[in-house]
C-alpha cells in the first residue's frame, strides 16, 4: 500500500513456469494483491502460481495476450485495487521497480506509468535485437508526431495504471493480440490521461518471452493502424468505439472462459 492506496500486481502468463518463481519472489512488500492469469499454458504455470500464494485465474483456451490483460485488470479491480501494475512473469523486467512506478501513480501526478527500456540506453545492453531497437525508435517517433504526446517508447510491457484509468478506457474494444498494449496508450492519450515514464533495465534471454520477426511486423502494422484510427477519430472522420466514451469497458461484462483457483 502506498499513500493509502491498495497496490495490485497482475501477471499475464503463458508457459511461464521457468521464470515465474523468480518474478514473484522479487515482488516488494508494498504489493497487496498478486494476480496471475494463465492463458491456457501447456506447462505448470498455474499450479506453480497457486503454490506461490498468487491468486490464479485460468483461461480455458489460448485467447491471446490482449484478452489476458482484460481479465487481469477486471480481476484486480474486483479485488479492490487502487493502482494496478502489470509485470510480465518472464523476468525480463525487474519487479523491484514496482514501488517507484506505483508511487508515481499514487502521487496523483500520473494516471499511467511506463517503464522505458530506451531511457538510460539499457535496451541494447540488455540484449534487445538491433532490428527491434530500430523499429522501436521509428514507431515511437511516428506515434509521438500524431498522438500529441512525447514518450521515449510505446512498446514496453511493464506498466502501472490508476483505477480510474482502467475503469474509463474501453479496453474490451482492443485487440486480443500484442497490439493491445499500444492501443491502450493511444486510448489514454485520447481520454486525456497523464502518462509518465521511468527508466528500466531489461534482459533478453532464452526463457524470456519475445515475439518473432513475423509477429513483430504484424505488431508494427497494428501500431500504424492504431495511430491512423486515433487521428481519424479525433478529426471526426470516423467514430471508433475504441476511442469513444461508450465503448465496452472491463467492468461491464465478465468472460465465461475464466475460472479461479487457489
One-character DSSP codes across 70-136: HHHHHHHHHTT-SEEEE--TTSSB-GGGHHHHHHHHHTTS-SEEEEESTTTTHHHHTT--HHHHHHH
Domain parsing of the chain, residue ranges: 7-243
**pTM of the predicted protein model:** 0.89
* Other CB atoms within 10 A of residue 97 CB: 20
Burial label, 188 (beta-carbon count in 10 A; 0-12, 13-18, 19+): buried
Q: Is the pLDDT of residue 200 over 60?
A: yes
CA 39 to CA 21: how far, in whole Å?
A: 17
Per-chain mean pLDDT for the chain: 90
pLDDT digits (tens, 9 = 90+) for 131-155: 778 888 899 999 999 999 999 999 9
| Residue 210, pLDDT score | 57
| Residue 125, pLDDT score | 64
SS3 content of the chain, % helix, strand, coil (to 5): 40, 15, 40
* Per-residue pLDDT band at 34 (split at 50, 70, 90): very high
CA 62 to CA 41: how far, in whole Å?
A: 8
**Which three three-digit cell numbers place residue 44?**
505448470
Whether the CB-CB separation of 87 and 13 falls below 8 Å is answered with no
* Domain spanning 7-243: CATH superfamily: Spore Coat Polysaccharide Biosynthesis Protein SpsA; Chain A (3.90.550.10)
Which residues partner with 161 through β-bridges?
A: 84, 112
Q: Which residue has the higher pLDDT, 215 or 250?
A: 250
* Cα first-last separation, the chain: 23
**Which three three-digit cell numbers place residue 55?**
491468486
Characterize 2-25 residue by residue with b for buried, 16 or more Cβ atoms within 10 angstroms of its Cβ, and e for exposed.
beebbbbbbbbbbbbbbbbbebbe
Cα diameter, the chain: 51
**Residue 45 neighbours by CB under 8 Å, 6+ apart:** 13, 14, 15, 16, 17, 20, 36, 38, 89
CA 233 to CA 228: how far, in whole Å?
A: 9
pLDDT digits (tens, 9 = 90+) for 64-91: 999 999 999 999 999 999 999 999 999 9
Amino acid at each position: 500500500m502506498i499513500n493509502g492506496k491498495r497496490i495490485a500486481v497482475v501477471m499475464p502468463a503463458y508457459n511461464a513456469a521457468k521464470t515465474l518463481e523468480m518474478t514473484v519472489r522479487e515482488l516488494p512488500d508494498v504489493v497487496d494483491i498478486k494476480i496471475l492469469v494463465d492463458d491456457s499454458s501447456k506447462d505448470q504455470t498455474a499450479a506453480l502460481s497457486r503454490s506461490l500464494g498468487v491468486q490464479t485465474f485460468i483461461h480455458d483456451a489460448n485467447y491471446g495476450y490482449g484478452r489476458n490483460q482484460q481479465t487481469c485488470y477486471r480481476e484486480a479491480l474486483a479485488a479492490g485495487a487502487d493502482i494496478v501494475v502489470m509485470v510480465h512473469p518472464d523476468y525480463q523486467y525487474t519487479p523491484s521497480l514496482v514501488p517507484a512506478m506505483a508511487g508515481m501513480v499514487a502521487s496523483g501526478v500520473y494516471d499511467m506509468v511506463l517503464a522505458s527500456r530506451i531511457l538510460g540506453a539499457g535496451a541494447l545492453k540488455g540484449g534487445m535485437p538491433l532490428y527491434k531497437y530500430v523499429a522501436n525508435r521509428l514507431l515511437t517517433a511516428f506515434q509521438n508526431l500524431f498522438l500529441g504526446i512525447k514518450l521515449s517508447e510505446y512498446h514496453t510491457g511493464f506498466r502501472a495504471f490508476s483505477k480510474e484509468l482502467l475503469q474509463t478506457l474501453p479496453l474490451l474494444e482492443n485487440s486480443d493480440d500484442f497490439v493491445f498494449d499500444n492501443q491502450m496508450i493511444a486510448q489514454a492519450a485520447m481520454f486525456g490521461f497523464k502518462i509518465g515514464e521511468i527508466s528500466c533495465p531489461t534482459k533478453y534471454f532464452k526463457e524470456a518471452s519475445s515475439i518473432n520477426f513475423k509477429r513483430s511486423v504484424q505488431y508494427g502494422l497494428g501500431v500504424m493502424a492504431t495511430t491512423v484510427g486515433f487521428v481519424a477519430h479525433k478529426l471526426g472522420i470516423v467514430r471508433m468505439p475504441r476511442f469513444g466514451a461508450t465503448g465496452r469497458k472491463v467492468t461491464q461484462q465478465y468472460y465465461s472462459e475464466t475460472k479461479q483457483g487457489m
